[in-house]
Structure 1
Amino acid sequence: METLTEFLVAELRAARVTRDLSQEEFGKLIKYSGSHVSAVETGGRPVTVEYVEAVDRALQTGGFYTRLFKKVTSLELAPVWLHEWIELERQARSIRWYEPSFVPGLLQTEAYARATLLAGGRFAPDQAEKRVASRLDRQAILRAEKPPHFVAVLDEAVLRRTFGGDRAMMAEQLEHLATCAELPDVRILIVPAEVGLYPGLQGGFITLTLQEGTMIAHQDHQVKAQVVNGVHDIATLQETWDDIVGEALPRRQSLDLIKEAVKSWT
């Protein structure tokens, strides 16, 4: 089966061939050697962002191949079963994320993301690094020109749980969380510990509202994640969401609790 990178390379080659250019001629056009073009097209050299930007400039594509490169790179870094969700995430006009255990991936620092993935030894270091890169890449949607409206509700335990006693990492992560909470389209709410048992503690979930109004959800399992779009399931998650938000502190009080937690780690 053709990989996404192989698809990108094929598209770049097609751009050259349809213009009836040899590799040497194409190289002169984009200011690379003909041997470099050949190596990219045969897989001997990796495609780089500099290369595709040169193609876009030379062919005046309006940045088409650079955008394609960034999308392919992002999807290649993520596990296959997550590809569909990443595409839906990019199309969302609003995202609601409840998490009782960890800081949501869209709000994680690099160090925190790495620690969550390495915990328990399920991933080899190289696999973990690819997933860290994927998570960080996905965060760009929160600072896009037209970002989705993002609401995250976290259990207070998320603010108190450390990984291997790394207090500096936790302080950095919660400072980042506080910074994200100040973004105009981001709202972060905390369910305080004194609430005790409440709906939602069985597991986290995410719901997206797409541009046309369709709602879809995502639930994590031990092996992989599940995309949920059944009417009954979505309604159940909406009810659970409303119950959870009802137990959470208001936005400003939640931010104060996050800042207090930062001090507890320093």
Structure 2
Amino acid sequence: MNHALRAAMTAAGQTVESLAGQVGVDPKTVARWVTPGRVPHPRHRAAAAVALGREVEDVWPDVLKRREPAWLRPWVETEAQASALRAFQVAVIPGLLQTPDYASTVLGSGPLGQEEVADYVETRLRRRAAVLDRKKPPLFIAVIDEFALRRGDPEVMHPQLDHLVTMAQRPNVLLHVLPLDAGIHPGQAGPFVIATTDDGDVAYLDDQAAGRLTKETAALWLVWDTLRSVALPRRQTIDFLRARSWLT
């Protein structure tokens, strides 16, 4: 519950309907803002704050507490509101499916300091809770290249693979391994996530420096359909993860 928003609405004499009319969104959208994990788009936050006679940080104080980079925040807000997420990863486990130890190992392999790694891991776990543990979680479909499952210390990977098996059995999570014997595939050009939102599809593309959002998703959908067609089905993926014959 966003108690700050509810209190501001009460003080300003605003209802869900009246605030929605001033911001230019559906009343159901404003109703979702009051619930946990639902943060409006920046322009909607600004318009709502003006309508309530408050500063944005007074109504959404948790936004300032986030530790993720500024360039990542638009995507964090997008995934928290998505009705479906389709993720492909070629080198690492998708962030929303990572265990704390695995996330720490991956983040610690770069230039980040120990304290920064700890902050980023905490942020990643909060993102996972906001997306996958909310009252009505999105459909989450992930295709993971087998290559990502083979890279890592067995002491870290065994618990990580156990976690994948557990997550794969959730009704809203569909997990698919892309086996090495599938050969060369178009996903090798890089990882991506496609989010389905009320405003249409939005994709997130990652690289060495930063990530970026785009609404030009047609080409990515073609890649996605190809990857899904050559990946293992859900049940075979779970059996594959349980067998993990490649880990000693």
How high is the TM-score relative to the length of structure 1?
0.69
Cα distance in 1 for partners of 2:246, 2:194 equals 32
Q: Which residue of 1 aligns with 2:28?
A: none
Cα distance in 1 for partners of 2:61, 2:107 equals 26
Preserved CA contact (<8 Å) 1:154 1:189: yes
1:209 aligns with 2:191: no
Q: 1:114 aligns with which of 100, 104, 107?
A: 104
Q: Which residue of 2 aligns with 1:229?
A: 215
Q: Which residue of 2 aligns with 1:186?
A: 173
Q: Which residue of 2 aligns with 1:167?
A: 154
1:134 aligns with 2:120: no
Cα distance in 2 for partners of 1:72, 1:255 equals 39
Matching residue's letter, 2:125: L
Q: Which residue of 1 aligns with 2:72?
A: 82
How high is the TM-score relative to the length of structure 2?
0.74
Q: Which residue of 1 aligns with 2:226?
A: 243
Cα distance in 2 for partners of 1:161, 1:150 equals 23
Q: Which runs of 5+ in 1 are unaligned?
A: 1-10, 19-64
Structure 1 residues 17-96: aligned runs within 5 Å: 68-73=60-65, 76-96=66-86
Q: Give the SS at the match of 1:243.
A: helix
Cα distance in 1 for partners of 2:114, 2:61 equals 25
Matching residue's letter, 2:230: E
Find runs of 4+ consecutive structure 1 residues off by over 2 angstroms. Answer: 67-73, 263-266
- Aligned-residue RMSD, C-alpha: 2.4
Cα distance in 2 for partners of 1:250, 1:222 equals 31
Cα distance in 2 for partners of 1:81, 1:244 equals 28
Q: Which residue of 1 aligns with 2:247?
A: 265
Preserved CA contact (<8 Å) 1:79 1:131: no
Q: Give the SS at the match of 1:96.
A: strand
Cα distance in 2 for partners of 1:125, 1:86 equals 23
Percent of aligned positions that are identical: 36
Matching residue's letter, 1:171: H
Report Cα offsets for 1:48-98 as digits up to 9, x if no partner. Answer: xxxxxxxxxxxxxxxxx9x9454543xx21111111111111110000000
